[in-house]
Amino acid sequence: MLSSPASVSKLFSLSRSAARTITSPTTKYFAPISACHLSTTRACSEFHFDTHQFVQRLQREGLNRQQAEGIMSAMAEVIDESIRNMTSNMVTKAEQEKHHYTQQVDFSQLKSELILTEKNDLALIKAENDRLLNDIEKLKQRLREEITRTQAGVRLDLNLEKGRTREEQGKQELKVKEVEYKIEQEIASLRTHMQASKATTLQYLVGLVTGCSALLMAYLRFRV
- Domain positions in the chain are 5-90, 109-195
Distance of alpha carbon 203 from alpha carbon 209, whole angstroms: 10
**Amino acid sitting at position 30:** F
DSSP 150-198: HHHHHHHHHHHHHHHHHHHHHHHHHHHHHHHHHHHHHHHHHHHHHHHHH
> Mind listing the pLDDT tens digit for each residue in 170-209?
888 888 988 989 899 989 888 888 888 888 888 888 888 8
- Residues with Cβ within 8 Å of residue 80, at least 6 apart in sequence: 46, 48
The structure's pTM equals 0.34
Query: Counting every residue, how long is the chain?
Result: 224
Instruction: Give the percent of the chain with pLDDT over 70.
Output: 78
- The per-residue pLDDT for 221 is 78
Cβ atoms of 69 and 38 closer than 8 Å: yes
pLDDT grade, residue 9 (50/70/90)? Answer: low
Residues 6+ apart with CB under 8 A from 8: 2
Q: What are the backbone dihedrals phi and psi of residue 94, each rounded to the nearest 5 degrees, phi first?
A: -65, -45
pLDDT band of 57, cuts 50, 70, 90: confident
pLDDT number for residue 83: 82
The amino acid at residue 125 is: I
Would the pLDDT of 167 be above 80?
yes
What is the amino acid identity at position 31?
Answer: A
CA gyration radius for the chain?
72
